Amino acid sequence: MLSIFDWLRRCRSGAELLATMKCHVLEPHLFPNQEEIGSPFCFSDGPCQRCWIYPPCRTSSRLKYCKACMAIMRRAAKLGDASRRSVVIWAFVNRVPGQLQRSEGFYKNDVTCFYVHDDNHFLMMMNRYKLKAWLQELLIYHGPDLKGLIQIFSTTGETRKGGMGDILCRAVHQESRFPMDQLRIRFFPDPYQLLTPHVRDKEGLLTFEVTEFLRLLEMTTIFRALLPPREQEMLRDLTNLNDSKEEHFYWGRFMGYLSPEAKDMLSSWNLRQWPKNRIRLLYELANYAPFTP
């Protein structure tokens, strides 16, 4: 009845998305191709109250979920922390990387879980700090031969705006907007921004060529390495000042706090002249680069 992708689209949270992919690999028997559907919903009976398709387990009168949904929820209850540290990647490319299909190299050691949908689509979750290394891996092994669209977004729980399944469906819906002429990245620091992508697009914060996005991640890594967290917050507050005289005064004091390396970095980047949207993007990407003093 339901394919694995149908199960993924029913996920309410990032933890459930992660749990479903793990169950697909570790417990594939939970997802039978043919099984009777549950009885129509009524006062005393009805289908599973999560998938609303299969009958609930009958081992206890209190159980209201089918065996697949029960397994997913039990596993998801232990994966909350892993989900919050993860980034979700939905890719529509001209060909799925061979190492991914064979689960070799980076995909065996550094990817939390993945699902290959067909010859052109795959879904993947990994620790967000591994994002830069993965993009470097793609460019090393595939270079300009890999073309398509990679959408990157964080996990979330179920809210009034929807759950992870709704976010995934929106990512699928948007993939056809771009030609298969190069490899592009669409970056959503907030997954619900997928519901209104035109907002980030107008600000120039959404779509990047892959080498451009990787360069931004490299800059963010340097930024995080040379500027301690306290100074990062001070710089954020400083760049949000609207009074130019006040900004000029505090900028001089701020530079006095910094190490020579940090001063050289900010001066060479000419960060003080950056538009506010570019500074905002730098801080959004900071969540994907570890602080390594």
* Number of compact structural domains in the chain: 3
Token code pair at residue 219: 């800059």
Contact by Cβ (8 Å): 106, 134: yes
Sign of CA dihedral 31, 37, 38, 41: positive
Our measurement of the distance from residue 257's CA atom to the centroid of its chain's CA atoms, rounded to an integer in Å, reads 35
- CA–CA dist 52, 255 (Å, integer): 59
**Residue 91 domain-assigned?**
yes
Contact by Cβ (8 Å): 288, 255: no
CATH number at residue 187: 3.30.70
The model's pLDDT over 255-285, given as tens digits with 9 standing for 90+, comes to 988 999 999 999 999 998 899 999 999 999 9
**Residue 206 domain-assigned?**
no
**Closest of 171, 218, 219, 215 to residue 191, by C-alpha:** 171
Sheet holding 148-154, edge to edge: 111-116, 121-127, 86-93, 148-154, 183-188, 207-209
Which one of 195, 230, 263 terminates a domain? 195
Which one of 76, 107, 132 terminates a domain? 76
* Full residue range of the structural domain in which residue 253 is found: 218-288
Q: What confidence score (pLDDT) does residue 60 get?
A: 54
- CA–CA dist 233, 269 (Å, integer): 18
The model's pLDDT over 182-239, given as tens digits with 9 standing for 90+, comes to 999 999 999 999 999 999 999 999 999 999 999 999 999 999 999 999 999 999 999 8
**Residue 131 domain-assigned?**
yes
The residue written with tokens 């977004």 in the block is 153
32 has pLDDT over 80? no
Are residues 70 and 42 part of one domain?
yes
Q: What angle do CA 263, 269, 275 make, to 5 degrees?
A: 115
Are residues 90 and 63 part of one domain?
no
Is residue 166 very low, low, confident or very high in pLDDT (cuts 50, 70, 90)? very high
Q: Are strands 86-93 and 121-127 parallel, antiparallel or unpaired?
A: antiparallel
Which one of 14, 42, 76 terminates a domain? 76
Are residues 278 and 236 part of one domain?
yes
Are residues 89 and 18 part of one domain?
no
- CA–CA dist 64, 74 (Å, integer): 14
First and final C-alpha spacing in the chain: 52
Are residues 183 and 140 part of one domain?
yes
Contacts of residue 148, Cβ cutoff 8 Å, sequence gap at least 6: 91, 92, 93, 94, 120, 178, 180, 183, 184
Are residues 90 and 44 part of one domain?
no
